[in-house]
Structure 1
Amino acid sequence: MMLWAYLYFHQITLDTHEKASLSVGNNSRYDTKNEARHKRTGESANGQHQPGKTQTPAVIVYCEKTNHIVQRNNGALQQGIEIGHGLAQAGALCPQVCIIPFSEEDERLTLVQLAHRLYPFVSDIVIDTHNTLAIRLDNLVHYYGGHKELWSTITHELNLSKVSYHFATAWSIEAARILALNGVDNYECDRDNIKHRLSQCSLSLTALDKKTKEALTRVGIRHVHQLLAMPVHELGRRFDNNTISYLTALRGETFPHVTLFRPAEHFEHFTLLPFDVENTQHLTPFMEKLLGYLAHYLRARNLQTSTLCFQIDFREHPSTQLEIKSALPQSTVDSWLSLLTLRIENEVLPEPAVSITLRCDNFETIEGSNGDFFSNRFNEVAQKQLIGRLNAKLGEECTFQPKVSDTHQFETMSNAEISSSISASTFTSDIVPTFLFDTPKPLTQSTKVCFGPVRLHSEWWHETPRKRDYFIAQTLYGVRMLIFKDEDNQWWAQGLFS
């Protein structure tokens, strides 16, 4: 028998808000400046609750289209606010209530992020609506060694995501949906038990249109078990093809075509801020949370990236794009957080931010190296880390890197400045100095040779061929120079190292 699990996230907007608030509350660096949240929840700035206020702040999710409260937390319930109340009634019951606008698109984005998290463990996922999804289980039981182990793995990931949900299992998505909406919250494999639970559900939980439900109610059919008991020929005479297709799928006689979820090739994570954030300092903990999701995504796929982009959304002002680049590909939260802090410390928000989105399109596979781990590693990594921090602090338009031409003869090299400090170099050598003299200068200072010699010959087609032995020398004042000795045993200075 085909087996589907249906998950109904009945307060996903509220869960997202509380999870974001908790992530800020657990970060002591930002606890002292959350006056906006305190004002909207009825809590004083020093952490003391005002007289007559509930200990749990009242939070509601309001749908402007229907003028109804669609989600509320325990604090709002203690104040007498119920789902279905209007905004005026909720405000009268609790003037300090925190109001979160309802958005189907925001809930859909959150559900897509959750599907990305579940996808490494379950292959067949169907996103049904903005707050429901279905997972096929029968083709996975063999790999997990049993139903208990499979469901334990799924619920573990859901618990880590800190979302509330109702669930049920049945032979089809349509049947499991009715049970989940009814709040069964039971994993069932036996067909007879599923049918028994399904028979107790009301007809209002089905996906039939309003006109069809009214027609069935007029003839006395008010529960699902009455609908399932109707003969097929009776259904064909009374209803259209769409209704017949739904009812046969509900019975498990047919399996409608569904679109399976497939993860995108790029990373994108959206978070709705629990309160309007007025400065970048208060944005940092939310951005750090998004970096945590990115690190989880990269680690699961053995990837790293050198570029990511934050999009900060406002109520009226156009969105702000904040791109961060690293000279060295990164995959951990700490490495990106240091660059992020430098990048945003001087940013000024045009108005309070309401949401943040993190996107990443370019990835690199982490490949093991067979060479010596310590060979030339420190200098290269330290240099790229320094370049990345300078770019994050000053901007790419303010940083430059010397570049030399494709030749090994120092007379024909030129230290040309380039606009991008992350461009690939054309010629690299350990003895190329930072600054080259236009013409060699006689060596008049007392120096000590630190490295060399390196003998360089000019190309054979030059009219005046040269043969020189180059050294790296250090003066008494610690200045390092590139020097050489010509064929006449004369010493010359070619350039300086910074």
Structure 2
Amino acid sequence: MWLYCHFPQLLLDNRVRLQPDSNTLPLALYQLQGNQSVIVQCNTLAREAGVKTSIQTVMAISLCEQLQLVEYIPEREQQVLQQLATRLYQWAAKLVLYPPKGLAIELSSLAQLYGGMDSVFNTLSREVDALPIKAQLAVADNPLAAQLLAEYDCPVSLNPKESTQLLAQLPIGAAGLGTKTQKHCKAAGFRQLGELIQLSGDEVGRQLGLETQLYLERIQGRQQQSYNFFTPPESFRQSLDLVTEIPHWQGLLFPLKRLFGELEDFLYQRQKVTQQVSIELHHRYEPPSVVPVALAEPGWRGQSFLSLLQLKMESIPLPEAVIEITLVANELLQSEQHSSHFFGVQQHRHETLQLIGRLQAKLGNNAVFSPAMNDDPRPGNNEFRRPAGEKPQILSAAPKRPLWLLQPPQPTSIDLWQLRHGPERKVCGWWDAGDIARDYWIARDKFQRVGWLYFESGQWYLHGWFS
């Protein structure tokens, strides 16, 4: 048994789901068909004004002057279908896509897992109903038969005999036959699909051709079919057409929040994390503006990315109003749980990395780093920058050093200081012509400040301050 889900207005319903305000106006999607622009989907307000599918956009505008028109893009609708399949994949692994508006789910293999066919159907139908997208469901013993029943919006029945009866009652125009075949059927007096099914295969082939004969055998499940089962994508990409052009960042926050919510759901269902996403802002005339947003460590919370993006907004001017937003996450990693969460170690590191991410978003990636030391014994030459967030280098046997080094060292008088520890002799640097010969001391001045002094070539210098 197969469950077929037909989404008659998938792209339009998904648009309203992401932008609820768009449903407060008459809205329709149009498509160029030859030399004509035709309405293919429309919302309730548009239908109440007389707009319906298959009419030309010129007529639609004459019926409803306030009608908002958006171009229908089949590839975009197929992306939405894949997103729905990804959400349902956690409940059923055997899914087959029928672009651009449908998908089929194999039920028989799930009966034992869910405790019966009724339980399987109730679980899946509940998940489909939870989507704010209109769906027409049907069950039959093969995907094609279920598809015909769902597209005609027949009542759902888990009884195979009742499904067969419903299939037989379908009018010829709803049987998925070509226009030429439908004309032949009507000319021969056939009005329902059941009348064709009752004929022998040879009779159908003689009257309507071999192609129609094979098609009817597929409807009845007499032909062995191979299925290309759906596999969830390894990346995330979702676009959102804006109802009106938005010229400033503040107006983009709400649709961006919706898109990041979709990303969060996608990552959570897949048990994945990602460290970087890209926001593509499409303009009418200018090239798209691409804004990368990177976390200090991989994560899945949409709010984390949105917070960093808000910090970057001030420094990124928009060259033109935005008409479309695309959110992309290509590099997905497996989510891992660590036992150190129990002791709070991981939580502390997570908070540190969140701070690093906010600083990088505000100041730039190159402005935030972690200090580290190498083996060069010369003060000032043994320091370098490591990527922010890396664990600090631990030097257990390192001598005491000041936190603040003066560059360049300042000449001073030994009369102002009281020597406390030293000397520490440094004669090195001959390997790169930067040789030094110094005696370093830790000293205290009259204000009780602790400094790092050295004596070289008959002169005392202050090289740094201890905290």
Query: Above 0.5 in TM-score?
Result: yes
SS in 2 for 1:304: strand
Amino acid in the other structure paired with 1:175:
A
Relative to structure 2, which stretch is displaced further, 319-328 or 421-430? 421-430
Relative to structure 2, which stretch is displaced further, 363-372 or 333-342? 363-372
SS in 1 for 2:158: coil
Q: Cα offset for 1:337?
A: 2.0
Q: Which residue of 1 aligns with 2:80?
A: 110
The structure-2 alpha-carbon separation of the partners of 1:213 and 1:433, relative to structure 1 and needing over 3 Å to count, comes to farther
Q: Which residue of 1 aligns with 2:282?
A: 313
Contact 1:402 1:415 in 2 (8 A): no
Which of residues 406, 419, 426 in structure 1 aligns to 2:374?
406
Q: Which residue of 2 aligns with 1:265?
A: 234
Residues of 1 paired with 2:401 and 2:275: CA distance?
Answer: 27
Matched, 1:339 2:313: no
Residues of 2 paired with 1:144 and 1:109: CA distance?
Answer: 29
Matches within 5 A, 1:90-489: 90-186=60-156, 188-238=157-207, 241-364=210-333, 365-370=335-340, 373-375=343-345, 378=348, 380-397=349-366, 399-401=367-369, 403-407=371-375, 411=379, 413-416=381-384, 421-422=387-388, 427-428=393-394, 435-436=404-405
Q: Which runs of 5+ in 1 are unaligned?
A: 26-36, 42-55, 449-456, 486-491
The structure-2 alpha-carbon separation of the partners of 1:355 and 1:185, relative to structure 1 and needing over 3 Å to count, comes to farther
Q: Which residue of 2 aligns with 1:72?
A: 42
Q: Cα offset for 1:371?
A: 7.8
Matched, 1:9 2:7: yes
Q: Cα offset for 1:130?
A: 0.9
Contact 1:313 1:355 in 2 (8 A): yes
Residues of 1 paired with 2:177 and 2:197: CA distance?
Answer: 13
The structure-2 alpha-carbon separation of the partners of 1:353 and 1:103, relative to structure 1 and needing over 3 Å to count, comes to same
SS in 2 for 1:349: coil
Contact 2:88 2:127 in 1 (8 A): yes
The structure-2 alpha-carbon separation of the partners of 1:271 and 1:197, relative to structure 1 and needing over 3 Å to count, comes to same
SS in 2 for 1:404: strand
Q: Deviations over 1:429-474 (max 9, x none)?
A: 59886654689999977999xxxxxxxx999xx9x9x9x999xx9x
Q: Cα offset for 1:271?
A: 2.5
Relative to structure 2, which stretch is displaced further, 360-369 or 258-267? 360-369
Contact 2:452 2:464 in 1 (8 A): yes
Q: Cα offset for 1:400?
A: 4.6
Q: Which residue of 2 aligns with 1:53?
A: none
Q: Cα offset for 1:348?
A: 2.8
Contact 1:403 1:415 in 2 (8 A): yes
SS in 2 for 1:117: helix
Amino acid in the other structure paired with 2:29:
V
Residues of 2 paired with 1:428 and 1:157: CA distance?
Answer: 52
Residues of 1 paired with 2:346 and 2:417: CA distance?
Answer: 31
Identity of aligned residues (%): 25
Amino acid in the other structure paired with 1:206:
A
The structure-2 alpha-carbon separation of the partners of 1:329 and 1:225, relative to structure 1 and needing over 3 Å to count, comes to same
Residues of 2 paired with 1:484 and 1:240: CA distance?
Answer: 101
Amino acid in the other structure paired with 1:155:
S
Which of residues 44, 51, 56 in structure 2 aligns to 1:81?
51
SS in 1 for 2:97: strand
Contact 1:446 1:476 in 2 (8 A): no
The structure-2 alpha-carbon separation of the partners of 1:269 and 1:407, relative to structure 1 and needing over 3 Å to count, comes to same
Q: Deviations over 1:37-62 (max 9, x none)?
A: 7xxx9xxxxxxxxxxxxxx6322222
Residues of 1 paired with 2:242 and 2:165: CA distance?
Answer: 43
Q: Which residue of 1 aligns with 2:16?
A: 18
Relative to structure 2, which stretch is displaced further, 246-255 or 202-211? 202-211
Q: Which residue of 1 aligns with 2:458?
A: none
The structure-2 alpha-carbon separation of the partners of 1:301 and 1:103, relative to structure 1 and needing over 3 Å to count, comes to closer
Contact 1:310 1:321 in 2 (8 A): yes
Matches within 5 A, 1:45-64: 57-64=25-32
Count of residues in Structure 1 that have an aligned counterpart in Structure 2: 447
The structure-2 alpha-carbon separation of the partners of 1:183 and 1:476, relative to structure 1 and needing over 3 Å to count, comes to farther
Contact 2:50 2:63 in 1 (8 A): yes
Q: Deviations over 1:99-120 (max 9, x none)?
A: 2222211211111111111111
Q: Deviations over 1:268-321 (max 9, x none)?
A: 233332333222211111111121122222223433322111122234433222
Q: Cα offset for 1:172?
A: 1.0
Choose 1 or 2 for highest CA Rg.
Answer: 2
Q: Cα offset for 1:423?
A: 8.0
The structure-2 alpha-carbon separation of the partners of 1:375 and 1:177, relative to structure 1 and needing over 3 Å to count, comes to closer
TM-score for the superposition, normalised by structure 1: 0.76
SS in 2 for 1:163: coil
Residues of 2 paired with 1:232 and 1:348: CA distance?
Answer: 68
Contact 1:270 1:355 in 2 (8 A): yes
The structure-2 alpha-carbon separation of the partners of 1:493 and 1:71, relative to structure 1 and needing over 3 Å to count, comes to same
The structure-2 alpha-carbon separation of the partners of 1:493 and 1:212, relative to structure 1 and needing over 3 Å to count, comes to farther
More strand by share: 2
Residues of 1 paired with 2:419 and 2:305: CA distance?
Answer: 43
Residues of 2 paired with 1:371 and 1:78: CA distance?
Answer: 56
Q: Deviations over 1:378-407 (max 9, x none)?
A: 4x545433331122123335x153543433
